[in-house]
Structure 1
Amino acid sequence: MPPFSLPRPDARPPAPTGRRAELLAAAVEVVADAGLRGLTHRAVDRRAGLPEGTCSAYLRTRGALLVALAEHVGGALEDRVSALSEELADCMGDPDAVAAAVTELTLGWVREPSLVRAQAELSLEAARQPELMEVFERWRRGLLATVEGLGERAGAPEPSDDAVVLVAAVEGLLVTAVRLPGAEREPLLRGAVPRLVHSLHEAR
């Protein structure tokens, strides 16, 4: 049995605003620094510089806090990929342009290493918590659909398979990058991401 009960949302809720957004931003930093074991209402309050009891007033249980954090982190990543899709709408036949745009996307993420670390921690926890996996899989399906749409516009013969490979590879690259010293992160991505994009293009 799971140690707590998680709500089962059917759709992605609106992006958090105000105090709730402030608490979730603090929760990202707590998880990035201390892992999910360190995620408590009290720890979030301390990181946000708010009175004790603030986090529990907005997110009453640890399960609710976990779900809200997964929505926050996953939604932030998905939104950025959706923005990339719009940016690439007119240049899908140009692998150099695609590689440059995807590289900039990953560089933006790695400049926020706490977000990447929190996403990795939550992904692992989701494998142990089916209810949390439901939250993660919902935003992941949206992410894969966006990337698949990019492949379809580029004329890829197997855009669904390409999307799975690209998303998994980029996730792995990001986790690898945030384990490196700061000065080594951008060179890794600037070398690896274009190679990945070009290899998928050339395999068609």
Structure 2
Amino acid sequence: MRGLTHRAVDEAAGLPPGSASNLARTRAALLELTLAHLVELEERALAPALESGLTALDRRPSREVLVGLLVEALQVQIADVRRSLARYELALEATRRPELRRVYDRAGRRFRDPAVALLAVLGSPDPVRHSRQLVAFTEGVMFDAIAGAGESPSREDTHAAIRELLDGMLGPA
């Protein structure tokens, strides 16, 4: 994170010196813009999986459709190591900067709120708590595959693990 400076952004973007500071006067503003851009990149990367999965869930809400959606989303996130590592860096930075924490949490709700709604539709007795557990589980799988000591899980392993988690939350299918 120390390398994220106005000067570094100008150089990486091939812009004249001072360009980044015209958009973001302070380091805090630069971090917020970086996080906003990262959220856009994640939404763009996840859009195909989310659109097809959410369309399928609208037509036929089922646990298996949700499992497929989550497997696809995890595979997309794990495949883009650079973007995922940037998100981890920003998450750690947000632990030290309350103003960034608020932005980070607000951005996270864009991904977490749909999980609450989906789990409610699938019959969760506590969709808020279950969505937190689901997000924590998927984040753990991602972190282990990207920055931990684990390997990237296969689609089959991911599918089985998510199905087992949902069975524990919602009861057997």
Number of aligned residues: 164
1:116 aligned residue: 84
Q: Is the 8 A contact 1:45 1:55 kept in 2?
A: yes
2:160 aligned residue: 195
1:89 aligned residue: 58
Pairing 1:41-190 to 2, within 5 Å after superposition: 41-77=6-42, 80=46, 83=51, 84-95=53-64, 97-179=65-147, 184-185=151-152, 188-190=153-155
Give the secondary structure class of the aligned counterpart of 1:88: helix
Give the secondary structure class of the aligned counterpart of 2:68: helix
Q: Which runs of 5+ in 1 are unaligned?
A: 1-35
Partners of 2:79 and 2:11 in 1: CA distance? 24
Q: Which runs of 5+ in 2 are unaligned?
A: none
TM-score (norm 1): 0.70
TM-score (norm 2): 0.80
Partners of 2:23 and 2:55 in 1: CA distance? 34
Identity of aligned residues (%): 31
CA RMSD, Structure 1 to Structure 2 (Å): 2.4
| Structure 1 segments of 4+ aligned residues over 6 angstroms from their partners | none
Shift of 1:138: 1.1
Which of the two has greater helix per residue?
2
